[in-house]
Structure 1
Amino acid sequence: MAALSAAAKLEPGDRAKWRWQKSAGSFMAGSGAGMISTTILQPFEVVKTHMQARDCPGGHSIRGAVRVISERDGVTGFWRGTGAACVRVGLGAGLYFAMLGPVLSTLQTIYTSGQSSGVSMHDKLPVAITMSAGSLTRLLASAMTCPITVVKTRMEYAAASGLNYTGTASALLAIKRTEGISGLYSGMVPTLLRDAPYSGLYLMLYNRIRYSLKDHFDPNNIPHTYINFVSGALAGSSATFFTHPPDVVRTRMQLERSQSTGIVSTVRQIVQVEGVKGLFSGVLPRIGRRGLQQAVSWTIFEEISGWVNHRL
């Protein structure tokens, strides 16, 4: 709040410059945090993608997916699509964190009828504001990065599907050439149905868990990095479970291309063939990856943004 109070005393021109610098700092912090956590945890995503594919050679179990990947591609197979994943998450996380502050402030101003001068994630915020801000910000970021999401998913399953992409750029051009622009946005609706509720739920849980831990533990004995890490892990795991079915639908639509005509037909096909449990294929590796990714990303983001803001 000290930074916000100082900003309020600046002249309009200087205040605009300060906000731009803060957004740029948030973009770099979020982008860096996202790429680091993505690289470390990519094996979870590759296993999850294989489990969600309709014709996965190893079946829909973790053990089967791990066996097929390791036998076919060796250890490096678990990092397939890392380049595309880093581009997507780096860009998506950067945009998300850069937009989150302004969106939070705007919603807080509306919520308080114009009486708020600023707000940050370090404040204890109303549930309506955190859920709305998280959902709206992620909705915008996910829509902007959907083509990279399609490329990432295809590359993670490339060997099993018989496709041969030499890199992120070649995959992007190949999809555009064979399927048109619409191919780069396949599965966008289920992606938004997954990401918007997930981020709204995550931001609300993270904010509440963080403050609950601070209330129950002496901050002099428990490092704030520990509180941020645990808050991110718990919030990420919980939000992931409740929003997993749209992720299964998204993966099927992006892998099978013309075989599915839409969300409803894809859901119907999954339930008819695999039962309701099919909508939770790959939930365990996704919870593991998302929980750890959010813990690592938000901990790194809090540290980097704190360092950047201290110098603004």
Structure 2
Amino acid sequence: MDFWPEFLASSWGREFVAGGFGGVAGIVSGYPLDTLRIRQQHSSKSGSAFTILRRMLAVEGPTSLYRGMAAPLASVTFQNAMVFQIYAILSRSFDSSLPLDEPPSYTGVALGGVGTGAVQSLLLTPVELLKIRLQLQQTSSGPLSLAKSIIRTQGLRGIYKGLTITVLRDAPAHGLYFWTYEYVRERLHPGCRKTGEENLTTMLLAGGLAGVASWVACYPLDVVKTRLQQGHGAYQGISDCFRKSVQQEGYSVLWRGLGTAVARAFVVNGAIFAAYEVALRCFPSAQLSQESESNK
């Protein structure tokens, strides 16, 4: 019975649970917009986000907007726990001379984010591959049956298709992501990086703007990744996908669906950071736990 209090008082426990809350909030709040983004990237004939939304509601029903959500939702707690904990470790490792009560430098924040993005790609690649294929299909087969089918016919290489482009997308994007969040929250509420006393509005705005900045920076790579992972076998690799897409549809294809992605990024990442920060403040720190034990 003593496990949970001790777990939540530890750094790993607090980061794990708070990261899980943030991830769940982000997935639930932004998944319909993510489905629209994927369908826009998939084909030039899809139309605008509003056209796709209206067609999906009329033909496939409201639940189609959440098709494939089980795959990212099932992994989101562990994924976000990894992201926030690895980021905390890496950002600190670049500023090892700083005392623990001082926030890491912006350089440490950016480099920690780059490393975090690269590491999390190992978990994210198969999850996004399943999500993309489920979002594009018209049937309602589940992620487990799809994963088994891919592994049976293509092996682990098939389930990890798109790993390289995911790393190329996520490493720099996460560096910009965490840097923007830390910079904006400090500008909106000076001193909050050290005191942690920013309000909910600051969390939402800083998180939302961090998401927008990172998505704008990596969006062309995300379009290529979506097309590589859709499973049609039309492309031989990253450069081949880029070349054929531009030849057939022009450079504008690399920005198709950006408006939907930006809207989703603001909502999702505002929710992620707000839920994460609020949850983190609800758990006792190791220091408080030790003080409580000493007073007994």
1:126 to 91, 97, 105: 105
1:199 is the counterpart of 2:178: no
1:61 to 48, 54, 68: 48
TM-score, normalized by length of structure 1? 0.82
1:50 is the counterpart of 2:39: yes
CA distance in 2, matches of 1:81, 1:256: 15
Q: Compute the displacement of 1:234 (Å).
A: 1.4
Q: Aligned pair in 2 of structure 1 residues 258, 185: CA closer, same or farther (>3 Å)? A: same
The 5-angstrom pairing of residues 250-265 of structure 1 reads: 250-265=225-240
Q: What is the number of residues matched between the two proteins?
A: 278
Quick check: 2:114–2:170 contact (8 Å CA) kept in 1? yes
Give the SS at the match of 1:215.
coil
Which moves more between the two structures, 199-208 or 234-243?
A: 234-243
1:3 counterpart residue number: none
Q: Compute the displacement of 1:206 (Å).
A: 0.8
1:290 counterpart residue number: 265
Quick check: 2:7–2:14 contact (8 Å CA) kept in 1? no
CA distance in 1, matches of 2:211, 2:101: 23
1:28 to 13, 17, 21: 17
Q: Aligned pair in 2 of structure 1 residues 233, 117: CA closer, same or farther (>3 Å)? A: same
CA distance in 1, matches of 2:226, 2:284: 38
What is the identity, as a one-letter code, of the residue corresponding to 2:137?
A
CA distance in 1, matches of 2:21, 2:284: 16
Q: Compute the displacement of 1:298 (Å).
A: 0.5
Quick check: 1:153–1:255 contact (8 Å CA) kept in 2? yes
CA distance in 2, matches of 1:88, 1:249: 23
1:116 is the counterpart of 2:95: no
Report Cα offsets for 1:180-211 as digits up to 9, x if no partner: 21111111111111111111001111111111
Uncovered stretches (5+) of structure 2, i.e. residues with no partner = 1-5, 290-296
CA distance in 2, matches of 1:75, 1:100: 36
Uncovered stretches (5+) of structure 1, i.e. residues with no partner = 1-16, 110-114
2:126 counterpart residue number: 147
Report Cα offsets for 1:12-50 as digits up to 9, x if no partner: xxxxx9899211221121112211221122100110010
Q: Compute the displacement of 1:88 (Å).
A: 3.8
Quick check: 1:50–1:157 contact (8 Å CA) kept in 2? yes
Quick check: 2:32–2:66 contact (8 Å CA) kept in 1? yes
What is the identity, as a one-letter code, of the residue corresponding to 2:82?
L
Give RMSD over aligned pairs.
Answer: 2.3
2:26 counterpart residue number: 37
1:70 counterpart residue number: 57
CA distance in 1, matches of 2:10, 2:140: 38
The 5-angstrom pairing of residues 170-189 of structure 1 reads: 170-189=145-164
What is the identity, as a one-letter code, of the residue corresponding to 2:117?
R
What is the identity, as a one-letter code, of the residue corresponding to 1:23?
W
Give the SS at the match of 2:94.
helix
1:229 is the counterpart of 2:211: no
Which moves more between the two structures, 196-205 or 166-175?
A: 166-175
CA distance in 2, matches of 1:223, 1:135: 25
